[in-house]
Chains A and B, each alone.
Chain A
Amino acid sequence: MVAPVVRAGQLYLDVDAELDVAGDLRDIAQKGVPLYFAADVDIVRRRWWWFDKPVLQAQMGWRIVYNALTRQWRVSSGDLWLNEASFDDAMAHVRHIRSWALAEAAALEDSVDYRGRVRIRLDTSRLARPFQIDALNSSAWSLATPWKDFSFSISEDDSRP
């Protein structure tokens, strides 16, 4: 479920996704190997006479790592980090994105129908290289939600901060 909202002149995105990490990947995480997740957003403006015009591309990343000593999970995104007691608690941060600030509403045109899509995936490019080789030919590592489409437009009121 994707819900773009404009609050106080800022475009936010709330995403709730089904991303089930199970089996080998969970075991690997349990062994202390850091997992990287990423959420990708593309927002385009439809043009019937040409290719769609890209308006915005954003990415957010998470790192989930298990501390075997303290038996705690740590979720970090950018400078922020949190300790969680379980893997699912840690994954909840990835699955449920709240108030992802995408852009200033003023930067977008009013009353234009924007199309966007979002997905959350396991970011294999930041894994250790042997895992990358594994990831190239193993389905266990290709974990991603399908692209989820959404559309929105900004009214004149919203654009005012």
Chain B
Amino acid sequence: MERFLFFDLRRRLPALTRWASRIVLLIVAGSALALLAMLVWSTGNASRYARQYDVLLVLNGILAVALLFWVTAVSWRLARQVRRRQFGARLTARFALFFTLIGILPGALIYILSVQFMSRSIESWFNVRVDSALEAGLNLGRTALDSQLADLSSRAHEFALQLGQASDLEMPLLLTQLREATAVAEAMVFTSNGRMIAFSSAEFAHLLPDPPPQAVMNQLRVSHAYAAAEAEEIDALAEDEALTGLRLRVVRPITPSERLTPTLGSTAPDTRWVQLIEPIPDAVARNANHVQQGFRDYQELALSRLGLRKLYGITLTLALILAVFAAILAALSVSRRLVRPLLRLAAGTQAVGVGDYRPLPESPDDDEIRQLTRSFNAMTRQLDEARRMVESNRRQLERSNVYLESVLSHLSSGVLVFDEGFRVNMFNEGAQSILQLDLRQVKGRPLEMVEGALPLAQRIRDAFAEHEAVGSERPYWQQQFELDIGDGPAQGERGHHLTLLARGTHLQVDERGTGYLVVFDDISEVISANRAVAWGEVARRLAHEIKNPLTPIQLSAERLAMKLVDRLDEDDAAMLLRSTNTIVNQVASLKSMVDDFREYARTPPAQMQAVDMNALVADVLSLYGWDPVDGMLHEHGREFDLEVDLDPDIPLIRGDPTQLRQVIHNLVVNACDAAGQQADETRAAVCVSTRLASAGSNGNGERPLAVRLTVSDNGPGFSPQVLARVFEPYVTTKPAGTGLGLAIVKKIIEEHDGRIDVANRRDAGARVSILLTRLADAADPDPAGEGGPETGRLET
């Protein structure tokens, strides 16, 4: 369970990371937006973020720099990909460029318009008329104050004159009278060192006098008079000066009259000062203050318009930069997202190119890209199937080709395939072995190039030409070639005579010739067999026809001699007897010859029985002085050595012992004769052996046993001409032979379903092998090797 969860987590980790990064990105984007919004908000005056403007400016600047780095990094990576010609990079770059332009251009336009609009409108706030109007308002206020101040000054002057005639003691009363008479709010008399002499106030609540401040005293010392409007502090904490009241303060010196001048001139009295304070009515003061406040604000704004423009400009620029960077980033990311499925498809195409037919993962969005991917996958699947089919077809074709080739190579017939220009395209083993030529070097070249193949090639060309010329309906021609292959002067004895039965056809595919096919068989043996049959027939008829008149001839000759011998004289009688004897002898000789013919032509049907071949061989060889008991030759005068090697384990065979005895006899006689022809000093030797052999195949896979009899000699062997026709009658190498020995052997062996093979030994001499495949059943009677009549004398 835990393992499962673990693997599940591992599988889901990329998705989780993606979600987490998305959330982080969202948060960062939100914060950046909020930061920008706060900056813009704080640019407006009446905001509580106004104090944090600097901080926000710095934070936004950091954000802009971070974005700049990000943009630079991403752009650099993209540029590097483009330089490396990475697939899809150019498309991404192009997309990103267009998206960026789409994002930036309107933004820049709006930015330029905003900056222009802002600076224009800020400038338009400040114009000369507003300036002068405010100035005039201020001056109005000043003039109003000044006129009241002048009024108060004149009253103060009056006070000073009046008070100057009073002594210090009279002053408070007089001051009060004067104040009440002139309706001044507050009046006070003090000395130069600030000591108060008299004080009078209209307001009873205001019992404490308001002495002139130090600054006023200083000014009095210099200018001996003071008249000014002062801002009155209503609330000590009031920053808003519109709420402060205004009052007029006038201080004038009191010039004492002559009579009050002390007679004692030693001490000059302090100068007395009268101070009048008159508050400006609240409404007037408030309005005047408003004007003054407005003037100040206006001045402040007018002075700070450069700062204002900078302020808005900085905010706007920062917003533009952030927007541009965000637009670039968004463009890059969007173009990457757009291009990614295309890249996947491209990668899939390349994979298909190198033989990877795995399907691409489909995108989760249900859009055209997904359909495209699906179609692509379908296409690759079909491609894959087609490729597999082609592959399997190719393999099948190869298999059938191999099969065909093996069939061809195991075909005993020779096969030659030519192209349209009679160049050899194909040949099989059979052709090589029949023609006894090495055709491997001639592939792709005309057959004439092979030494010794010129007559065959010529015959083949002629045959095709004739077939063409005849315009036969048959698709093939058939001809018998008598050839002496390789029978050139350089070849010497190697040349041999062949009879070939060849069939040729013009190969055609879609009515167009693609080549020529020639199939041929070596029918020399067939011809030979035919000849043997024909000879048998001839021999039988001749024997019959010749034998019939022989007996009458002999009888007539004997009667002539018997009747006439008494009537003739001695000499004539002797001549008659000689002549008739000659006739009789020759007829007998002729008879025996005819018998031989009959023997060849009409062998009596074989009497099949179980035969022990070893016994038969021993029986025959004993005629040549071989002792089957000790295996030695007893008659040392013979001209040859006899080697006998009998396999004691050979089974019994079915056969006619008489005929088989004749076979063995014929072979041994032949071998002895051949060995006797040996020219050099080597002693003639004949070797007879029997062996257990396996032959052929019966249906159930066992190789049935057979008995092989081999007779070989160290004579000169067969010449090729003889070897080809060795089984035909009257083919002999011996001066006194009839040429019937091997023919009879072959006939007998064929009747026994056996095989006979005549060949020259590799070292020297000839070798005849006989394979007897009919084994005796267990039910067969006892072997009759010893018995059986000797059928006639055999001559080879």
A residues sitting closer than 8 Å to B (CB atoms) are 28, 31-33, 67-72, 74, 79, 81-85, 89, 128-134, 137
A69 & B289 in contact (Cβ 8 Å cutoff): yes
Query: Which 3 A/B pairs are nearest by Cβ-Cβ distance?
Result: A130-B307, A130-B304, A32-B296
Per-position binary interface string of chain B over residues 356-394, scored 1 when its CB falls under 8 Å from any chain A CB and 0 otherwise: 000000000000000000000000000000000000000
Residue among A32, A71, A84 with most chain B CB within 10 A: A32
Q: Which residues of A contact B291 (CB under 8 A)?
A: 69
Q: A134: nearest residue on chain B (CB-CB)?
A: B307
Q: CA separation between A85 and B249, bound complex, in Å?
A: 14
List chain A residues, Cβ under 8 A from B295: 32, 68
The answer for the CA separation of A9 and B618 in the assembled complex, in Å, is 163
Closest beta carbon of chain A to B153's beta carbon, Å: 15
Least Cβ distance of B317 to chain A in Å?
13
Closest beta carbon of chain B to A14's beta carbon, Å:
19
Is the pair B236, A67 in contact by a Cβ cutoff of 8 Å? no
Q: Are B53 and A129 in contact (CB under 8 A)?
A: yes
- Are B292 and A69 in touch, CB under 8 angstroms? yes
B54, B142, B307, B310: which contacts A69 (Cβ < 8 A)?
B142
Residues of B within 8 A of A28 (CB): 303
Q: List 29 A-B contacts (CB under 8 A).
A: A28-B303, A31-B299, A31-B303, A32-B292, A32-B299, A33-B299, A68-B292, A69-B145, A69-B229, A69-B288, A70-B228, A70-B246, A72-B230, A72-B231, A79-B237, A81-B233, A82-B215, A128-B304, A129-B45, A129-B307, A129-B311, A130-B311, A131-B304, A132-B54, A132-B307, A133-B307, A133-B308, A133-B311, A134-B307
Q: Which A residues lie within 8 Å of B301 (CB)? A: 130
Shortest C-beta distance, B245 to chain A (Å), equals: 12
Per DSSP, are chain A's interface residues mostly helix, strand or loop, or mixed?
Answer: mixed
Nearest chain-B residue to A63 (Cβ)?
B239
Residue numbers in B under 8 Å from A67 (CB-CB): 231, 241, 292
In chain B, residues 118-158, which have Cβ atoms closer than 8 Å to a Cβ of chain A? 138, 141-142, 145
In the bound complex, residues from chain A placing their C-beta under 8 Å from that of B138 are 68-69
> What distance in Å separates the Cβ of B583 from its nearest Cβ neighbour in chain A?
165
CB contact between B231 and one of A33, A74, A84, A131 (< 8 Å): that residue = A74
Q: Tell whether B28 is near chain A: CB-to-CB under 8 Å.
A: no
Q: In the complex, what distance in Å separates the CA atom of A79 from the CA atom of B314?
A: 37
**A38 to B310 CA separation, bound complex (whole angstroms):** 26
Residues of B within 8 A of A89 (CB): 215
B310 and A133: CB pair below 8 A?
A: yes
New A-B contacts (11) at CB < 8 Å, excluding given A130-B305, A130-B308, A133-B314: A31-B296, A31-B299, A32-B295, A33-B296, A68-B292, A69-B141, A81-B236, A129-B50, A129-B53, A130-B307, A132-B307
* A3 and B123 alpha carbons, distance in the complex (Å): 49
Q: In B226-267, which residues have CB < 8 Å from any A CB?
A: 228-231, 233, 236-237, 241, 246
Flag if B306 contacts A134 (CB, 8 Å).
yes
Min CB–CB distance B48 → chain A (angstroms): 13
CB distance from A56 to the nearest CB of B (A): 27
| A129–B52 alpha-carbon span in the complex (Å) | 11
Given contacts A32-B296, A33-B300, A131-B304, contact A72 B50 (CB under 8 A): no
Taking CB atoms, residues of chain B closer than 8 Å to A33 are 296, 299-300, 303
How many B residues have CB within 8 A of the partner chain? 38
| Distance in angstroms between the alpha carbons of A70 and B285 in the assembled complex | 11
Q: Which residues of B contact A134 (CB under 8 A)?
A: 304, 306-307, 310
Distance between B279 CB and nearest chain A CB, rounded to angstroms: 13
Flag if A85 contacts B219 (CB, 8 Å): yes
In the complex, A82→B216 CA distance in Å? 11
| Most B-side CB within 10 Å, residue of A71, A128, A130, A132 | A130
Tell me if B701 is interfacial: C-beta within 8 Å of chain A.
Answer: no
Closest Cβ–Cβ distance, residue A70 to chain B (whole Å)? 4
Q: Does B471 sit within 8 A of A, measured CB to CB? A: no
CB distance B229 to A83 under 8 Å?
A: no
CB under 8 Å from chain A, chain B span 141-185: 141-142, 145
Query: Measured between alpha carbons, how far is A133 from B305 in the docked complex, in Å?
Result: 10
| Beta-carbon nearest neighbor of B314 in chain A | A133
Complex CA–CA separation, A83 to B249 (angstroms): 13
B-side contacts of A83, CB under 8 Å:
213, 215, 230-231
A72: B residues at CB distance < 8 A: 228, 230-231
List of B residues within 8 angstroms of A68 by Cβ:
138, 292, 295-296
For the complex formed, measure the closest distance between the CB of B238 and the CB atoms of chain A, giving whole angstroms: 10
Shortest beta-carbon distance from B680 to chain A in Å: 131
In the assembled complex, the Cα of A89 lies from the Cα of B218 at a distance in Å of 12
Docked CA distance A142–B231 (Å)? 31
A85 contacts across to B, CB distance below 8 A: 215, 219
In the bound complex, what is the Cα–Cα distance between A89 and B215 (angstroms)? Answer: 9
Query: Are A128 and B228 touching (Cβ within 8 A)?
Result: no
Residues of A within 8 Å of B311, CB to CB, are 129-130, 133
* Closest A residue, CB atoms, query B233: A81
Closest CB of chain B to A52's CB: distance in Å?
A: 29
Task: For the complex, give the distance between the alpha carbons of A132 and B231 in Å.
Answer: 29
CB distance from B13 to the nearest CB of A (A): 49
CB B227 to nearest CB in A, in angstroms, measures 11
Least Cβ–Cβ distance between A135 and chain B, in angstroms: 8
Distance in angstroms from B694 CB to nearest chain A CB is 115
Shortest CB distance B733–A (Å): 135
Contact between A131 and B307 (Cβ–Cβ < 8 Å)? yes
- A81 to B: closest C-beta gap in Å: 7
**Residue-by-residue, is B197-238 near A (CB-CB < 8 Å gives 1, otherwise 0)?**
000000000000000010100010000000011110100110
User: Bound complex: CA of A128 vs CA of B307, how far in Å?
Assistant: 10
Minimal Cβ-Cβ distance residue in A for B122: A130
In Å, the complex CA distance between A77 and B299 comes to 24
The proximity string for B residues 505-524 relative to A, scoring 1 for CB distances below 8 Å and 0 otherwise, is: 00000000000000000000
- Which A residues are in CB contact (< 8 Å) with B288? 69
Please indicate which of the listed interface residues A32, A69, A82, A130 has the most CB atoms of chain B within 10 Å of its own CB: A69
Contacts of B300 in A (CB 8 A): 31-33, 128, 131
